[in-house]
């Protein structure tokens, strides 16, 4: 939800497959680690020297792949649990636990041929029964991806290594949703549990231990189905939420790798020959969320007044030291889903005053502004927004809260007036247009409900042809701006990471949303 959530937002917390289309051509660039290290002859040595120390920015709180929305969870689960498919570096879908799949001519039936050489971390064999039980858990437990399973008419397991899903109607995002941790496969036995604290997966690493807010450990799975992977024996994530502390720990050589480098230090690290600085854009979309069910933001004019008070370029420059880009729509920059002509709303105090008067607040209004304290860029952004809003009489009371309190009070209970959050720039448009903004979306919490918008997004989800589908998302972006949804989009942020030169291999997933440690090594 950094995300999530991107981040998703995990989560919140954003590709054309050979078996159906739902791509967005999200062209992530890599200014620091585009080269992948040569493949070692073996999986490395079994000693502590082959253990990676990772300084992480957001603590892992939960390890249930189907119910936990935080990006921090997705980043470790990507290495522990696996789905039938995943996205590759061409932004296509590639087989993972499924060796192949076929889609019927009417796009209603998908038949998966499953790998036969796979075992779970507890030694049990992977079969189609694990797939169907995992998907039933998602469907019946109202999991994050439950809305996708609502589109499924039936599921069958003709044999141990064949799984058939039949849809009630064409649904373009289904295969691409399967490539996220929200639809990863657990053992049939574990899939029958209400909650999961120690996931049993088929990935290259297995869960070892967790100390909340302190440390997360995963170790090499010796019976992984790809005999050549992984190269590392152990990955230990040290939870270091404070940006400066995390960077100091890295500079002191106490960790090998850190994510979420403070933007103000990006240029210095990029110039350091002893550091491999990695920048990939975009990672996540940060927005100002307002509660459309409560005064004053239940009024469109009040929302517009606040937006007209904001200089979004100034907010981005202050929060990211110029490392990002002002946002205009929920579509990833450079994708075909992005509106080609839409411009962000410019700061205009006169128009802000006009909308204040139209809303019945000619002298302005007061509102609480709850900010997750560990996201330094959002704290800075909030301070800039607070100062600008005050110039038109909008008094925002910044309250810095913990991430856990944000999840419970703001996201779950919707007890807020204004806040900031972000979600990950995943490669399929559902990530930005449906999950946070459609009233049935998994990350919907700001209360802005518009049936015409919902119908438009629902229609887009049934279309497989990109040329016909993209204009619907362009229209949806116009609608979000004109009707002033509960998400006032601020900026797209990049992934900024740093590692010492002895740590090599591609650690990022292709879309930049998570990490894959299987192909990395310590030299």
CATH, residue 60: 3.40.190.10
Residues 454 and 418 in one domain: yes
Strands (E), 119-268: 152-159, 162-167, 205-211, 215-220, 234-239, 257-259
Among residues 147, 239, 127, 244, the alpha carbon closest in space to that of 191 is found at 127
DSSP 226-241: STT----SEEEEEE--
Task: Report the distance separating Cα 229 and Cα 209, nearest Å.
Answer: 21
Tell me the pLDDT of the chain averaged across its residues.
88
Given 161, 191, 221, the domain boundary residue is 191
Is 60 exceeded by the pLDDT of residue 444? yes
Residues 301 and 398 in one domain: yes
Please write the tens of the pLDDT for every residue from 211-225: 999 999 999 999 999
Give the number of domains in the chain.
Answer: 3
In angstroms and rounded to an integer, the radius of gyration of the C-alpha atoms of the chain is 22
Given 135, 169, 191, the domain boundary residue is 191
Strands (E), 425-485: none
Q: What is the mean pLDDT of residues 15-40?
A: 35
Task: Report the distance separating Cα 73 and Cα 60, nearest Å.
Answer: 5
Packing angle, helices 300-309 and 349-359, rounded to 10: 160
Residue 112 pairs in a beta bridge with 101, 163
Is 50 exceeded by the pLDDT of residue 1? no
Residues 354 and 450 in one domain: yes
Whether 239 contacts 70, CB under 8 Å = no
Task: Report the distance separating Cα 332 and Cα 224, nearest Å.
Answer: 34
What's residue 51's pLDDT?
Answer: 97
Task: Report the distance separating Cα 422 and Cα 287, nearest Å.
Answer: 6
Residues 267 and 316 in one domain: no
Residues 456 and 335 in one domain: yes
C-alpha neighbours within 13 Å on the C-beta side of residue 104: 13
The phi and psi torsions of 312 (rounded to 5 degrees) equal -70, -30
Residues 428 and 347 in one domain: yes
Residues 144 and 164 in one domain: yes
Is 70 exceeded by the pLDDT of residue 507? yes
Task: Report the distance separating Cα 335 and Cα 81, nearest Å.
Answer: 29
What's residue 26's pLDDT?
Answer: 33
Q: What is the mean pLDDT of residues 141-158?
A: 93
Residue given tokens 């080269």 in the structure block: 35
Residue 381: pLDDT band with limits 50, 70, 90: very high
CATH, residue 449: 3.10.105.10
Residue 359: pLDDT band with limits 50, 70, 90: very high
pTM: 0.76
In a domain, 384, yes or no: yes
Residue 82 pairs in a beta bridge with 185
In a domain, 426, yes or no: yes
In a domain, 43, yes or no: no
For residue 263, CA distances in Å to 255, 259, 494 come to 19, 11, 9
Q: In degrees to the nearest 10, what's the CA dihedral of 8, 12, 14, 18? A: 110
Residues 330 and 445 in one domain: yes
Please write the tens of the pLDDT for every residue from 401-422: 998 899 899 999 999 999 999 9
What's residue 333's pLDDT?
Answer: 86
Is 90 exceeded by the pLDDT of residue 15? no
Given 191, 225, 249, the domain boundary residue is 191
In a domain, 77, yes or no: no
Q: What percent of the chain has pLDDT over 90?
A: 73
Residues 314 and 215 in one domain: no
Residues 238 and 137 in one domain: no
In a domain, 475, yes or no: yes
CATH, residue 177: 3.90.76.10
Per the structure, the complete domain to which residue 465 belongs is given by 282-494
Please write the tens of the pLDDT for every residue from 91-101: 788 999 999 99
Residues 294 and 230 in one domain: no
Whether 289 contacts 490, CB under 8 Å = no
Residue 346: pLDDT band with limits 50, 70, 90: very high
In a domain, 243, yes or no: yes
Contacts of residue 371, defined as CB under 8 A and 6 or more positions apart, other chains included, come to 378, 379, 382, 398, 399, 400, 401, 419, 420
In a domain, 245, yes or no: yes
The phi and psi torsions of 107 (rounded to 5 degrees) equal 65, 25
Residue 202 CA from chain centroid, whole number: 22
Task: Report the distance separating Cα 7 and Cα 409, nearest Å.
Answer: 19
Q: Which two tokens stand for residue 243?
A: 């940006």
Q: Label residue 201 exposed, middle or buried (CB < 10 Å: 0-12, 13-18, 19+).
A: buried
Max Cα separation, the chain? Answer: 71
Residue 178: pLDDT band with limits 50, 70, 90: very high
Is 60 exceeded by the pLDDT of residue 10? no
The phi and psi torsions of 229 (rounded to 5 degrees) equal -120, 155
What's residue 48's pLDDT?
Answer: 66
In a domain, 44, yes or no: no
Contacts of residue 374, defined as CB under 8 A and 6 or more positions apart, other chains included, come to 57, 58, 241, 242, 402, 403
Put residue 497 in one of left, alpha, beta given phi > 0 → left and psi -120 to 50 → alpha: beta
Number of residues in the chain: 523
The phi and psi torsions of 264 (rounded to 5 degrees) equal -70, -15
Task: Report the distance separating Cα 449 and Cα 406, nearest Å.
Answer: 22
Residues 505 and 486 in one domain: no
Q: Which two tokens stand for residue 491?
A: 């900026």
Q: Which of 22-31, 80-89, 245-254 has the lowest mean pLDDT?
A: 22-31
Contacts of residue 314, defined as CB under 8 A and 6 or more positions apart, other chains included, come to 347, 384, 388
The DSSP bridge pattern shows strands 275-290 and 29-30 to be antiparallel
What's residue 4's pLDDT?
Answer: 30
Q: Which of 112-116, 164-168, 176-180 has the lowest mean pLDDT?
A: 176-180
DSSP 435-452: TTTSTT-TT--S----HH
């Amino acid at each position: 939800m950094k995300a999530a959530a991107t981040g998703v937002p995990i989560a919140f917390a954003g590709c054309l497959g050979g078996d159906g289309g739902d791509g967005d051509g999200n062209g992530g660039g890599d200014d620091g680690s585009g080269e992948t290290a040569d493949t070692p002859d073996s999986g490395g040595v079994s000693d502590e020297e082959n253990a990676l120390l990772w300084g992480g920015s957001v603590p892992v709180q939960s390890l249930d792949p189907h119910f936990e929305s935080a990006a921090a969870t997705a980043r470790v689960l990507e290495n522990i649990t696996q789905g039938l498919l995943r996205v590759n570096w061409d932004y296509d879908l590639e087989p993972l636990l499924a060796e192949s799949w076929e889609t019927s001519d009417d796009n209603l039936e998908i038949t998966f041929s499953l790998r036969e050489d796979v075992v779970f971390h507890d030694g049990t064999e992977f079969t189609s029964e694990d797939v169907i039980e995992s998907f039933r858990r998602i469907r019946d437990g109202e999991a994050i991806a439950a809305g996708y399973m609502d589109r499924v008419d039936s599921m069958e397991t003709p044999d141990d290594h064949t799984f058939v899903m039949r849809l009630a109607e064409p649904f373009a995002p289904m295969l691409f949703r399967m490539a996220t941790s929200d639809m990863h496969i657990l053992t049939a036995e574990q899939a029958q549990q209400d909650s999961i604290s120690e996931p049993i997966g088929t990935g290259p690493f297995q869960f070892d231990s967790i100390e909340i807010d302190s440390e997360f450990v995963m170790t090499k799975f010796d019976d992984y189905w790809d005999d050549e992977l992984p190269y590392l024996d152990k990955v230990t994530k040290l939870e270091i939420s404070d940006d400066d502390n995390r960077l100091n720990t890295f500079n002191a050589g106490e960790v090998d790798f850190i994510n979420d480098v403070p933007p103000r230090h990006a240029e210095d690290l990029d110039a350091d020959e002893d550091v491999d600085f990695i920048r990939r854009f975009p990672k996540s979309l940060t927005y100002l969320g307002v509660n459309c069910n409560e005064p004053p933001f239940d009024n469109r004019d009040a929302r517009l007044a606040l937006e007209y008070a904001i200089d979004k370029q100034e907010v981005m420059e202050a929060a990211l030291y110029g490392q990002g880009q002002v946002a205009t729509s929920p579509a990833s920059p450079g994708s075909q889903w992005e509106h080609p002509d839409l411009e962000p709303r410019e700061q205009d105090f006169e128009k802000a005053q006009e909308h204040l008067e139209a809303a019945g607040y000619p002298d302005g209004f007061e509102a609480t502004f709850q900010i997750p304290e560990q996201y330094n860029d959002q704290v800075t952004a909030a301070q800039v927004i607070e100062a600008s809003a005050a110039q038109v009489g909008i008094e925002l009371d910044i309250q810095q809260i913990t991430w856990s309190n944000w999840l419970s009070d703001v996201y779950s209970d919707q007890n807020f007036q204004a806040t900031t959050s972000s979600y990950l720039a995943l490669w399929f448009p559902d990530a930005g247009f449906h999950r946070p903004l459609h009233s049935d979306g998994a990350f919907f919490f700001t209360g802005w409900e518009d049936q015409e918008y919902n119908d438009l997004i629902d229609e887009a989800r049934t279309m497989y042809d990109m040329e016909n589908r993209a204009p619907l998302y362009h229209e949806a972006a116009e609608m979000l701006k004109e009707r002033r949804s509960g998400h006032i989009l601020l900026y797209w942020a990049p992934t900024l990471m740093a590692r010492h030169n002895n740590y090599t291999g591609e650690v990022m997933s292709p879309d930049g949303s998570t990490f894959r440690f299987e192909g990395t090594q310590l030299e």
